[in-house]
Amino acid sequence: MHVEFLEIPAVALIQPKRFGDDRGYFVETFSARLFCERVAGAVFVQDNEAFSAQVGTLRGLHFQKPPMAQGKLVRAVKGAIFDVAIDIRVGSPTFGKHVSARLDAEHGAQLWVPPGFAHGYCTLEPDTLVSYKVTNFYSPADDGGILWNDPALGIDWPYGASGAVLSAKDTQLPLLADLAPLFTSDPAREAQR
């Protein structure tokens, strides 16, 4: 497993090793031991899947509020996505900034999005299936989000405003500036990464 911490060091792009031959390949998609040693000491409690038929389906930007905050380990099982994590930890040197990665079934990379980040993605291929592990159970009462096209975030979505397929809920989310401070950061601890 290859791990690359991105420009926001709490977020990691993980590439599991594939072993291939003329039949196809084998891959260990998750190992709790390796994840804890190389990425974070997270414990996953639930697996989720989301299927999107249309190219340009945008889901996000979502998070769960404390005490039900979730970390997510995201991968595309079929198709491809443009995946985004936004730092919403007050006091973080990267507050309001984002990182992105292309995740696709062909290469099998995964994105670790820790608690304190909003997360969203846009499908790049039809019939895309996304699977993700989470560190806390879903709690509708603690559901939160940020408007996907908030100009303050500067996210260059692949299909822009005209081509995005959104849920009604995701079009009504607040701007980052209107979000109450929910998460805090310890810059000294982050500098150790």
C-beta of residue 49 within 8 angstroms of C-beta of residue 76: no
Please tell me which residue in 119, 132, 138, 159 is annotated as part of the active site.
Answer: 132
Q: Reduce the DSSP state of residue 43 to 3 states and report it.
A: coil
Q: Does residue 62 have an active-site annotation?
A: yes
Q: Where are the alpha helices (DSSP H) in 108-185?
A: 160-163
Q: Which residues contact 69 (CB under 8 A, 6 or more apart)?
A: 63, 115, 116, 136, 142, 183
CA proximity to 2, closest of 21, 17, 23: 17
Q: Does residue 132 have an active-site annotation?
A: yes
Q: Which residues contact 32 (CB under 8 A, 6 or more apart)?
A: 43, 44
Please tell me which residue in 62, 98, 119, 121 is annotated as part of the active site.
Answer: 62
Q: Is the peptide bond prior to 67 cis by the omega test (within 30 degrees of 0)? A: yes
Task: Locate the DSSP E strands across 28-125.
Answer: 46-52, 58-64, 72-78, 80-87, 89-90, 98-104, 110-113, 117-123
Q: Which residues are catalytic?
A: 62, 132
